[in-house]
């Protein structure tokens, strides 16, 4: 079940996704972290953030919408209060998710994390508005994305995984920009920009007005995007979007992903990532797949 991403070997290709697995330590009693490949922390910013007003999570057909607003304890509190516990967890492999509203903020987070022990990689969330450029989302503007990635890569002492926004026309082109700027791998997809309206009050169902759609409803779009990216870059891909069972993970691997992340499914069942990892191993055995890595890019046309 082992896979390798940017020189880091993971015992399973199944990873718990950012924003759905807290800071990892909270799941210690819930699942066996040594059964999943890794987990990704909630997005970490330079300073703590309160996030948006409620309601900020709703259920939709086949998925959910959220506008948490990147609430987090900030990188310093993460290093002081969470990382010591993470280091003690049995077989835990932690990827830190990083974001900022300016490139300097992202660099500040990475530089602080560089000095800390117990992390294998950074996942840079490019779906965040660049306040210095009038709120344009880094991940939807090729020039901003290129600058963000190259400057973060220059200071990063660990492999840099760039998480792409799906809210673009040409996701393959954005992945090429990330690769050219030095990304060691890309992960996709983040959530899709969406709007739900309460027909009685005629108001948005989420206080922030719009939110990000995730869960099974987005899976076929996400698989198509992974396939597009796989034909555009040579760096490894981590695929996600609506994975709820082992066969969903297999689809992403066949489309070209080396590993997968499980997000929204953890809301329905906090042990989802472990169950999917176990069932993926069973699936490989029952389908005579000797190595899970052999599935990557195995789509037959």
Ligand X SMILES: Cc1cc2nc3c(=O)[nH]c(=O)nc-3n(C[C@H](O)[C@H](O)[C@H](O)COP(=O)(O)O)c2cc1C
Chain contacts with ligand X (rule: CB under 6 A): 17-20, 42-43, 66, 68, 70, 97, 125, 163, 190-191, 214-215, 218, 240-243, 262-265
Q: Using the minimum distance from each CB to ligand X, give the nearer residue, 247 or 294.
A: 247
Annotated binding-site residue? 5:
no
> Encoding tokens for residue 127?
């779906």
Beta carbons within 8 Å of 93's beta carbon, 6+ residues apart: 10, 11, 33, 37, 38, 39, 120
Q: Which residues pair with 14 in a beta bridge?
A: 260
Annotated binding-site residue? 241:
yes
To the nearest whole angstrom, how small is the minimum distance from the Cβ of residue 203 to ligand X? 21
Q: Strand 94-98 vs strand 197-198: parallel, antiparallel, or unpaired?
A: unpaired
Q: Using the minimum distance from each CB to ligand X, give the nearer residue, 194 or 278.
A: 194
Q: What torsion, rounded to 10 degrees, do the Cα atoms 36, 160, 105, 213 define?
A: -50
Q: Using the minimum distance from each CB to ligand X, give the nearer residue, 103 or 290.
A: 103
Task: Report how far residue 122's alpha carbon sits from residue 113's, in angstroms, rounded to the nearest whole number.
Answer: 9
Q: Using the minimum distance from each CB to ligand X, give the nearer residue, 3 or 249.
A: 249
Cα Rg of the chain (Å, integer): 18
Q: Using the minimum distance from each CB to ligand X, give the nearer residue, 79 or 162.
A: 162
To the nearest whole angstrom, how small is the minimum distance from the Cβ of residue 221 to ligand X? 10
CB 276 within 8 A of CB 243: yes
Residue 134 CB burial class (10 angstroms; 0-12, 13-18, ≥19): exposed
To the nearest whole angstrom, how small is the minimum distance from the Cβ of residue 276 to ligand X? 10
- Residue nearest ligand X, Cβ-based: 19
Annotated binding-site residue? 191:
yes
Annotated binding-site residue? 108:
no
Among candidate residues 94, 106, 128, 284, the one labeled active-site is 128
Between the alpha carbon of residue 294 and those of residues 150, 222, 258, 299, the distances in Å are 31, 21, 9, 11
CB 221 within 8 A of CB 42: no
Annotation marks residue 94 as catalytic: no
To the nearest whole angstrom, how small is the minimum distance from the Cβ of residue 293 to ligand X? 21
Task: Report how far residue 145's alpha carbon sits from residue 178's, in angstroms, rounded to the nearest whole number.
Answer: 7
Question: Which DSSP letter does residue 133 get?
Answer: G
Annotated binding-site residue? 264:
yes
Does residue 194 sit in helix, strand or coil? strand
Annotated binding-site residue? 173:
no
Q: Using the minimum distance from each CB to ligand X, give the nearer residue, 139 or 146.
A: 139
To the nearest whole angstrom, how small is the minimum distance from the Cβ of residue 235 to ligand X? 18
Annotated binding-site residue? 139:
no
Run of H or E including 250:
helix 246-255
To the nearest whole angstrom, how small is the minimum distance from the Cβ of residue 259 to ligand X? 13
Residue 12 CB burial class (10 angstroms; 0-12, 13-18, ≥19): buried
Q: Which residues pair with 58 in a beta bridge?
A: 65
Active site residues: 128
Binding residue ranges for FMN: 18, 42-43, 97, 125, 163, 189, 215, 241-242, 263-264
Binding residue ranges for substrate: 42, 66-70, 125, 190-191
């Amino acid at each position: 079940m082992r896979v390798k991403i940017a020189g880091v070997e993971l015992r399973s290709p199944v990873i718990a996704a950012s924003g759905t697995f807290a800071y990892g330590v909270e799941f210690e009693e819930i699942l066996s972290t040594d059964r999943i490949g890794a987990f990704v922390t909630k997005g970490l910013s330079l300073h703590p953030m309160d996030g948006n007003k409620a309601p900020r999570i709703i259920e939709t057909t086949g998925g959910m919408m959220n506008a948490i607003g990147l609430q987090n304890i900030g990188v310093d509190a993460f290093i002081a209060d969470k990382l010591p516990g993470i280091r003690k967890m049995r077989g835990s492999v932690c990827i830190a998710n990083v974001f900022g509203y300016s490139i300097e903020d992202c660099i500040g987070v990475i530089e602080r994390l560089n000095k800390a022990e117990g992390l294998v990689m950074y996942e840079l969330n490019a779906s965040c508005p660049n306040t210095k450029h009038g709120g344009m989302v880094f991940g939807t503007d090729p020039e901003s994305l290129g600058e963000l990635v190259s400057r973060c890569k220059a200071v990063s002492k660990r492999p840099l995984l760039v998480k792409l926004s799906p809210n673009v026309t040409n996701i393959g082109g954005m992945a090429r920009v990330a690769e050219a700027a030095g990304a060691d791998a890309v992960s996709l997809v983040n959530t899709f920009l969406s709007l739900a309206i309460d027909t009685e009050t005629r108001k948005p169902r989420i206080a922030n007005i719009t939110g990000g759609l995730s869960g099974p409803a987005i899976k076929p779009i996400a698989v198509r995007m992974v396939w597009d990216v796989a034909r555009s870059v040579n760096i490894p891909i981590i695929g996600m979007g609506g994975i709820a069972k082992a066969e969903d993970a297999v689809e992403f691997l066949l489309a070209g992903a080396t590993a997968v992340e499980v997000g929204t499914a953890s809301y329905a069942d906090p042990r989802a990532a472990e169950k999917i990892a176990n069932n993926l191993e069973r699936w490989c055995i029952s389908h005579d797949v000797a190595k899970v890595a052999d599935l990557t890019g195995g789509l037959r046309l």
